[in-house]
Amino acid sequence: MLRNVISVISMLGLSVLVIPTERALATDNVQLIAPGDPAMAKAHEKSNSELDGFLEKLGNPPAGTENYSIKLGFTDKAKGVALTTDQMAPNVEFMWVYQIKASGDHFTALLSDTPEYIHNIKPDDRVEFEKSDIFDWMYTENGKVKGNYTACPLLLAGPKEQLDQYREIYGIVCD
């Protein structure tokens, strides 16, 4: 089951690094997005507007749902990492966490991505965060992805065939 969510996440290239515009390019595992990208800001707003519904399902998962994950923005600091939802901050790598445990608006989870640019964290490290740190969320319902709004700016920037494939396989709907 964990492999399924990691497979979905890695296939969609959903780890995102916000970098200065002059360095914006795609790598194998990470899509690099310029700070303040309007499509990504819109995706974050949509995710945030539906966050409470996601958290309700996370707390009491309906039948047919699984693979609950949350996307957080990480930056290196002297010791460890800091979290941010600020797309204008330099060198922010947005990555997914899983095995989420909630206590009110406080959460713990494990990092599921392999950082490309952030050095002070690695896969399966425990991450503590607040509701206000959440950038995006996703889960699967009967095999189809729900949420994951930040995938759309990445997919819309790529080949149309890839978007069509993800739409068909994972049920991702991009406005």
> What is the average pLDDT across 73-81?
92
Q: Which of 61-75, 104-118, 150-164 has the lowest mean pLDDT?
A: 150-164
Of 52 and 152, more confident: 52
Instruction: Answer whether residue 88 shows pLDDT above 60.
Output: yes
> What is the average pLDDT across 77-97?
89
Of 6, 39, 51, 23, residue with least CA distance to 15: 6
Q: Is 74 exposed, middle or buried (0-12, 13-18, 19+ CB in 10 A)?
A: buried
Question: How many of the other CB atoms lie within 10 Å of CB of 79?
Answer: 6
Of 19, 44, 45, residue with least CA distance to 33: 19
DSSP annotation of 116: S
Domain residue ranges in the chain? 34-142
Q: In whole angstroms, what is the distance from residue 12 CA to residue 172 CA?
A: 10
* CATH topology (fold) of 34-142: SH3 type barrels. (2.30.30)
> What is the average pLDDT across 114-119?
91
